[in-house]
Amino acid sequence: MRQIKRRIYPIEENCMGCRLCEVACAVEHSKTKDPISAFLEEGWEPFSHTVVEMIGPVSFSLSCRHCDEPYCVEACISGALRVEGDGRVVVYEEVCVACGMCVVSCPWGAIKPRKRDGVVKAAKCDLCPDREVPACVAACPNRALIFDTALGPGLEKVEEEEIIEG
Amino acid sequence: MLYDSVFVFPNFEVERDYDKCIVCKACVQQCTFDATYYLPYRARVVSKDTNCVGCRRCEAICPTGAIKIRRYQGEFKDNAYWTPRDLKDLYKQAEQGGVILTGGGNDRPYPVYWDHILLDACQVTNPSIDPLREPMELRTYLGRKPDRVEIRYNEDGEPELKTQIVPNLVAEVPVIFAPMSYGALNLNMHRAEAAAAKAMGTYWNTGEGGLHRELYPYGDHTIVQVASGRFGVHAEYLQVSAAMEIKIGQGAKPGIGGHLPGGKVDEEISKTRMIPVGSDALSPAPHHDIYSIEDLRQLIYALKEATNYEKPVSVKIAAVHNVAAIASGIARAGADIIVLDGFRGGTGASPAIVRDNVGIPIEMALAAVDQRLRDEGIRNWVSIIAAGGIRNSGDVIKAVALGADAVYIGTAALLAVGCTLCHKCYTGKCAWGITTNDPYIAKRLNPEIAAERLTNLLKAWAHEMKEMLGLMGINAIESLRGNRLRLRAVGLSREEMEILGVLPAGA
């Protein structure tokens, strides 16, 4: 049993669709971590792990749910996807063979293939290990993303819904 | 530009630094006036300056600071009489043949009397007070006060109050959120105002568009308005409130009514205002049942009767030429509070020509009304709330010293949550999500953030007011009310100082 589960929760009512979370994610996962260089100069295609889904007034920023029993981990043929002790689902890029099984198995569409320096690997939200608060959460101007580090009584329900029976 | 009339000249230009633009298109998504769009073949974001209203939403949201909104550089030939604004307005009217609408408050360069009044401070012979060490009171009681207080002794010989005290509003800070209707503002802004008013122990005002049922729990901090259109007025609405306000006039557009376009009337607004979805909400210019002070008295007492005489009734009028005589009549009609709305007061929509040319400054109206009620010996019958262009806590203190009990802040409250005074409230496309009911744009105003910002504003002002009271050696704001000897005027004529009741600096 895990004691701590760190997750980013999107708040649909507050998301206004500006996509600054996507910008922040791409910048955080760039070489230079500078917004202008990340997009214009460094040669890596800017790549965001979170995607703002929008239909009319409904929008929210969706990234990896870090499921308790992740389909992607089950589907991974090389063992590159693992659940860490703190609940994070992580890609070990050196092991990834880019078979694409995780991409098709994720019900949230939260894993995408990413090409960098000519090599394709699975890429997904890593909850920004270098930051106290993930970049997307820090960049959101309207508090449409919340970073929860502990399970409160209100969140147990949400977690139950997210457990996918295999 | 192509397909535009040749008579359209831009007011602003969007300057984009393409060395910094990362083509994230946040500006395109955030601009509600279609002034910014994406050119796929050039992979560039470009602007249509004629559509830009100068709200600066794109500038605020741009992650790399690539955008600057500037006043349009192309100028008409210099003319000290015909300003570019006159020309552009005239072209627009020649094109469309209609009334030019605007939102916000009067932005013309009329004198600002607040800026000609200075405060007194204690030195040597009268000690000032340090508000951080000594108690300082901003609590204000709004409503009718008795002419004299009589005491009787009961059988046990204990003294008790013989005079009957009528209900008063108790505001912990003498700053109240001004009436701005649900419809003109969206529900998120009303949620924020209600939450901030509750947190700070003050009040907010519904404006004439009724009170959404979701906000009934905030009733104790809500002043509900009864205006000429009677939108949203029903028994429960009156009963849930802390006080009721009869709106006669509005500072930005004295003497004219209101018009909420049918397009803004969605399901929730329709329920709250009690009108069909999509129908225009027209507030008549006068109340059709009020043509005299006696008629006003009937409505005041109808409201008091409906609420069992448990709540004060306020009457809001625009500051106009003979405001002192009108205020005297209102006091005699039985109102507990009189709200004076000066010509700088804001509006959701008004003909620009009315906003820019009608009414008088709140400083003058306030001083005149306070003096008139004192002269007639009925100042204690009513409290006075000054509204219309209160910009900072200095204005609040000066207003109190000129005779106000409290102030309303409308524009200042909107500024606190992001408004940049682009004056496009009437379009319903507010890019900051304040004066729009489009569910997609209204999401930009997170009620939680907005409530925090409003609370912070009131906290900051309260702190500053305490400092200013302390330096004047006063420990309660009620002791400053009408104390014009603590004010001095600079750069005003003798007549202006006479009306303000303020001595010149050095005297």
Q: Is residue B83 part of a domain?
A: yes
Q: Domain of A137: which CATH number? A: 3.30.70.20
Q: Determine if residue A85 is left, alpha or beta; phi over 0 gives left, psi from -120 to 50 gives alpha, anything else beta.
A: alpha
Co-location of B199 and B295 in the same domain: yes
Where does a domain end: B67, B98, B129?
B98
- Contact across the interface for A22 and B444, Cβ inside 8 Å: no
Q: Using an 8 Å CB-CB cutoff, list residues of chain B that contact chain A.
A: 19-20, 22-26, 29-30, 61, 63-64, 433, 438-441, 443-444, 446, 448-449
Is A161 near chain B, with CB under 8 Å? no
Residue A139 lies in a domain: yes
Question: Would A78 be classed as within a structural domain?
Answer: yes
In a domain? residue A44? yes
- Within 8 A of A59 by CB-CB distance, chain B residues are 443
Looking at residue B93, its pLDDT comes to 95
The reply to whether A22 touches chain B by the CB within 8 Å rule is yes
Rounded to a whole number, what is the distance in Å from the CA of A56 to chain B's nearest CA?
Answer: 7
Annotate B279-336 with three-state secondary structure: CCEEECCCCCCCCCHHHHHHHHHHHHHHCCCCCCEEEEEECCCCHHHHHHHHHHCCCC
Q: Residue range B148-165: average pLDDT?
A: 92
Q: Which of B133, B175, B105 is nearest to B386 (CA)?
A: B175
Considering the domain architecture, whether residues B82 and B185 belong to the same structural domain is answered as no
CB B223 within 8 A of CB B242: yes
Together in a domain, B341 and B473 = yes
The range of the structural domain enclosing residue A25 comes to 1-63+126-149
| Within-domain flag for B273 | yes
Is residue A56 located within the same domain as residue A5? yes
Statement: residue B12 has pLDDT above 60: yes
DSSP B351-364: EHHHHHHSS--HHH
Would you state the structure tokens that stand for residue A11, as one six-digit string? Answer: 């708040």
CA distances from B14 to B47, B67, B128, B412 (A): 6, 7, 51, 26
Q: What confidence tens digit (pLDDT) does each residue in B389-438 have?
A: 999 999 999 999 999 999 999 999 999 999 999 999 999 999 999 999 99
On chain A, the residues whose CB falls within 8 A of the CB of B443 are 13-16, 57, 59, 142
Whether residue B115 is contained in a domain is answered as no
Whether B453 maps to a domain, the answer reads yes
Strands B337-341 and B383-387: parallel
**A95 in any annotated domain:** yes
Domain-embedded: residue B248: yes
Query: Which range, of B275-289, B311-325, B458-472, averages the lowest pLDDT?
Result: B275-289
Give domain status of residue A6, yes or no. Answer: yes
B207, part of any domain: yes
Query: How many interface pairs between A and B have CB atoms less than 8 angstroms apart?
Result: 59
Q: Are residues A58 and A90 in the same domain?
A: no
**Residue B440, class by beta-carbon neighbours within 10 Å (0-12 exposed, 13-18 middle, 19+ buried)?**
middle
Does residue B140 sit in helix, strand or coil? strand
Is residue B201 domain-resident?
yes
pTM: 0.93
Q: How many domains does chain A have?
A: 2
Pairing of β B313-318 and β B337-341: parallel
Question: Do residues B90 and B190 both lie within one domain?
Answer: no
Check: CB of residue B47 under 8 Å from CB of residue B56: no
Q: Are residues B188 and B317 in the same domain?
A: yes
Q: Please give the share of chain B, as a percent, with pLDDT higher than 70.
A: 100
Tell me if residue B369 falls in helix, strand or coil. helix
Torsion angle in degrees (nearest 10) through CA of B334, B337, B342, B348 = -100
Residue range of the domain that includes B300: 140-146+171-419+445-478
**Based on the domain organization, do A59 and A130 belong to the same domain?**
yes
Shared domain for B75 and B199, answered yes or no, is: no
Task: For residue B461, count CB atoms less than 10 angstroms from its CB and return exposed for 0-12, middle for 13-18, buried for 19 or more.
Answer: buried
Residue A18 resides in a domain: yes
Q: Please check whether residues B91 and B213 belong to one and the same domain.
A: no
- The distance of A25 to chain B (nearest Cα, Å) reads 12
Q: Does residue A156 lie within any of the structural domains?
A: no
CATH code, B327: 3.20.20.70
- In a domain? residue A13: yes
Are the beta carbons of A20 and B26 separated by less than 8 Å?
A: yes
- CATH assignment of the domain containing B29: 3.30.70.20
Token readout for B253 is 């557009």
B191 & B87 share domain = no
My answer on whether B249 and B382 are in the same domain is yes
As a whole number of angstroms, the distance between CA A12 and CA B461 comes to 34
State whether B473 and B390 are in the same domain: yes
- Complete DSSP assignment for A18-34: --HHHHHHHHHTSSS--
Q: Are A55 and A131 in a shared domain?
A: yes
Asked whether residue B493 is assigned to any structural domain, the reply reads: no
| Residue located via tokens 């004076």 | B340
> Running along chain A, 166 residues long, what does each successive block of 10 average in pLDDT?
69 94 95 93 90 92 92 95 88 94 94 92 93 94 88 47 50
Count of structural domains within chain B? 2
A142/B29 Cβ within 8 A:
no
Q: What is the pLDDT of residue B315?
A: 97
Task: Tell me: do B224 and B86 sit in the same domain.
Answer: no
CA distances from B336 to B61, B206, B245, B330, B385 (A): 46, 18, 10, 9, 11
Q: Which residues contact A148 (CB under 8 A, 6 or more apart)?
A: A5, A6, A7, A8, A9, A155
A130 touches chain B (CB under 8 A): no
Tell me, what's the pLDDT at A2? Answer: 44
Is A18's Cβ below 8 Å from some Cβ in B? yes
